[in-house]
Amino acid sequence: MITKTRKRKSIGTKKRFIGKPAGQIQERVQAVGPEHFGVVAVDCAKRRSKWMLCNFFGKVVVEPTSVEHSTGGLREMTQLVARTCQAEGLTDVIVAVEMTGIYHKPVQRAFRKGGFDTRIVHPFASSHYRQPLHPDAKTDDHDLEAIFQAAIRGYGLATLPVGEVYQSLQAVSRHRHNLVKQRSRLMVQIRRLLHQTMPGFADLFDEGKLFHHSIALPVALQFPSAEAIREAGVDGISRRLNQIHVSFQTRTIERIVAWAGNATEPSELTPMYTRQWQQLNQVRQMWDEQILATEREMAGFLVETPYVLLLTVTGINVVSAARFAGEAGPIEHYASARAINGRAGLFPSRYQSDEVDHADGSLIRQCNRKLRGAAMLGGKFDQVPSLLSWSGGTVETAEGRSARPPLPDCQPSHADGLSTHRGQTSVARQRRRSRIPAGQAARVPSPPPNSDRPIDPRHERGFFLVAEIRLRHGSETAGGIGSQETSWPQTHR
pLDDT one-digit tens code per residue, 236-262: 999 999 999 999 899 999 999 999 988
Q: What gap in Å lies between CA 342 and CA 452, rounded to an integer?
A: 28
pLDDT class for 87, splitting at 50, 70, 90?
A: very high
409: nearest Cα among 439, 457, 451 = 451
Average pLDDT, the chain: 79
pLDDT value for 397: 34
Which has more confidence, 26 or 447?
26
pLDDT class for 307, splitting at 50, 70, 90?
A: very high
What integer is the mean pLDDT of 354-369? 88
pLDDT class for 471, splitting at 50, 70, 90?
A: low
pLDDT value for 11: 52
The residues near 219 (Cβ < 8 Å, ≥ 6 apart) are 229, 237, 241, 253, 256
Stretch among 281-285, 367-371, 437-441 having the lowest mean pLDDT: 437-441
Task: Name the DSSP letter for residue 152.
Answer: I
Q: Are 194 and 186 in contact (CB under 8 A)?
A: no
What integer is the mean pLDDT of 80-107? 94
Q: What gap in Å lies between CA 374 and CA 324, rounded to an integer?
A: 5
> Beta strand 395-396 with 402-403: parallel, antiparallel or unpaired?
antiparallel
pLDDT class for 85, splitting at 50, 70, 90?
A: very high
Sign of CA dihedral 205, 211, 214, 220: positive
Q: Count CB neighbours of 317 within 10 A.
A: 22
Residue 375 in this model has a pLDDT that exceeds 90: no
Q: What gap in Å lies between CA 8 and CA 289, rounded to an integer?
A: 50
Q: What gap in Å lies between CA 466 and CA 161, rounded to an integer?
A: 25
pLDDT value for 10: 54
Q: What is the pLDDT of residues 453-464, one digit of tens each?
A: 444 444 444 444
pLDDT value for 4: 57
307: nearest Cα among 327, 289, 279 = 327
DSSP of 68-134: ESSHHHHHHHHHHHHHHHHHHT--EEEEEEE--TTTTHHHHHHHHHTT-EEEEE-HHHHHHHHHHHS
- CB-based contacts of 162-170 (< 8 A; 24+ apart in sequence): 162/329, 162/330, 163/330, 165/301, 165/304, 165/305, 165/482, 166/305, 166/325, 166/326, 166/329, 166/330, 168/301, 169/298, 169/301, 169/302, 169/305, 169/322, 169/325, 169/326, 170/326, 170/327, 170/329
339: nearest Cα among 105, 20, 10 = 20
Instruction: List phi, psi (to 5°) of 53.
Output: -120, 130
**Multiple choice CATH, 167-294, 1.10.287, 1.10.3470, 3.40.50, 2.30.29:** 1.10.287
Q: What is the pLDDT of residues 173-216, one digit of tens each?
A: 999 999 999 999 999 999 999 999 999 999 898 877 889 888 99
Stretch among 94-103, 143-152, 475-484 having the lowest mean pLDDT: 475-484
DSSP, collapsed to helix, strand or coil, labels residue 55 as strand
- CB-based contacts of 125-128 (< 8 A; 24+ apart in sequence): 125/150, 125/155, 126/98, 126/150
Task: Name the DSSP letter for residue 6.
Answer: P
318: nearest Cα among 345, 284, 291 = 291
DSSP of 340-398: HHHHHT-SB--EEETTEEE---SBPSSS-HHHHHHHHHHHTTS-HHHHHHHHT--EE-T
pLDDT value for 56: 95
Q: What gap in Å lies between CA 207 and CA 186, rounded to an integer?
A: 16
Sign of CA dihedral 198, 200, 205, 210: positive
pLDDT class for 395, splitting at 50, 70, 90?
A: very low
pLDDT value for 359: 87
Q: What sections of 244-309 are H helices per DSSP?
A: 250-262, 270-302
pLDDT value for 380: 60
Residue 423 in this model has a pLDDT that exceeds 80: no
pLDDT class for 38, splitting at 50, 70, 90?
A: very high
pLDDT value for 12: 52
Q: Which whole-number Å values give the CA distances from 472 to 304, 459, 460, 487, in the listed order?
A: 15, 21, 19, 13
pLDDT value for 2: 57
Whole-model pTM: value is 0.70
pLDDT value for 13: 54
Residue 479 in this model has a pLDDT that exceeds 60: no
Residue 98 in this model has a pLDDT that exceeds 60: yes
Q: What gap in Å lies between CA 325 and CA 320, rounded to an integer?
A: 9
259: nearest Cα among 312, 304, 198 = 198
What integer is the mean pLDDT of 325-342? 89
The residues near 149 (Cβ < 8 Å, ≥ 6 apart) are 129, 133
Residue 448 in this model has a pLDDT that exceeds 80: no
Tell me the domain boundaries of the chain: 21-158, 167-294, 305-477
Q: What gap in Å lies between CA 47 and CA 4, rounded to an integer?
A: 59
pLDDT value for 414: 37
Residue 439 in this model has a pLDDT that exceeds 80: no
What integer is the mean pLDDT of 305-334? 91
Q: What is the pLDDT of residues 210-234, one digit of tens each?
A: 898 889 999 999 999 999 999 999 9
Residues recorded for the chain? 493
DSSP, collapsed to helix, strand or coil, labels residue 57 as coil
Q: Count Cβ atoms within 10 A of the Cβ of residue 40 and give its class: 0-12 exposed, 13-18 middle, 19 or more buried.
A: buried
Residue 476 in this model has a pLDDT that exceeds 60: no
Q: Are 147 and 126 in contact (CB under 8 A)?
A: yes
pLDDT value for 256: 93
How many C-alpha atoms does 378 have within 13 Å on its Cβ side?
Answer: 34
Does 167-294 match 21-158 at the fold level?
Answer: no
Residue 83 in this model has a pLDDT that exceeds 90: yes
What integer is the mean pLDDT of 137-159? 93
Residue type, 282: Q
Stretch among 97-111, 271-285, 351-365 having the lowest mean pLDDT: 351-365
pLDDT value for 360: 87
Architecture of domain 21-158: 2-Layer Sandwich (3.30)
